Amino acid sequence: MYKERSQPSRRKNLGMLEKHKDYVKRAAACNKRKKELKRLKILARDKNPDEFNYRMITESRMRNSGNQQEVDYASEMHQNICDEQIMRIQRKKLKKELNEAAEELMIRFSLKPKDKAQEKFERMKNRIKMIKEQLEKIRKKVDQIELKNNLMKSQLRNEVYYETQDEETGKKKYRWRRERKR
């Protein structure tokens, strides 16, 4: 089995030797931080073009000198994210304008906006009304079903069959009445 070497004795004053698995973890965390910083810089650059960053100066020099190719950071994914953010901001502005216009119209036509307690009361009132209507429908259905059951029982009792007991088992037995054909 492979064994990593230990820290040489003359370097013990520097502390413990970093093992490979520890290095891998540290490097992954460092790269993750770098990626996140790069993403945040791009977002900041696109959000506020006046924001200062040394890299922007070097890029503008490279573009002006013409020696090196122009660097393009706007990838499709980043562009989609920016488009979504712009749409979200526009939606918020539109909602705000609509709310302001609605308030203005209410003031103009002297319609007072309802307070939250009044709205809650009306919602509860409507809900109770709806529940009462549903209960009434259910009661009507139950009455219809009971009426049908009673009619069926009375018809069966009077005309269709009669009950007897089986001599062997003692269980109820239903026999149909004989009727003449007409």
Residues 6+ apart with CB under 8 A from 82: 46
Is residue 148 one of the residues assigned to a domain?
yes
Percentage of the chain surpassing pLDDT 70? 65
Claim to verify: residue 107 and residue 85 sit in the same structural domain: yes
128 domain residue, yes or no: yes
The answer to whether position 100 is within a domain reads yes
For residue 109, give the DSSP letter: T
When divided into structural domains, the chain yields a total of 2
Same domain, 118 and 106: no
Look up the domain containing 78 and give its range. 74-111
Residue pLDDT, tens place only, 7-56: 888 888 888 888 888 899 999 999 999 999 888 877 777 776 666 555 66
Domain assignment of residue 30, yes or no: no
Cα–Cα distance, 163 to 153 (Å, whole number): 13
Same domain (yes/no): 107, 117: no
**Whole-angstrom distance, CA of residue 132 vs CA of residue 138:** 10
pLDDT score at 109 = 75
Point out which residues pair with 149 in neighbouring strands: none
153 and 117 in a single domain? The answer is yes
SS3 assignment, position 159: helix
How confident is the model over 64-86, as a mean pLDDT?
60
Query: Which ranges of 53-115 does DSSP label H, i.e. alpha helix?
Result: 54-65, 76-108
Structure-block tokens of residue 157:
């009792």
Tokens 């509860």 belong to 124
| C-alpha–C-alpha distance, residues 48 and 100, integer Å | 28
Tens-digit pLDDT profile for residues 109-148 = 766 666 788 888 888 989 999 998 999 999 999 988 888 8
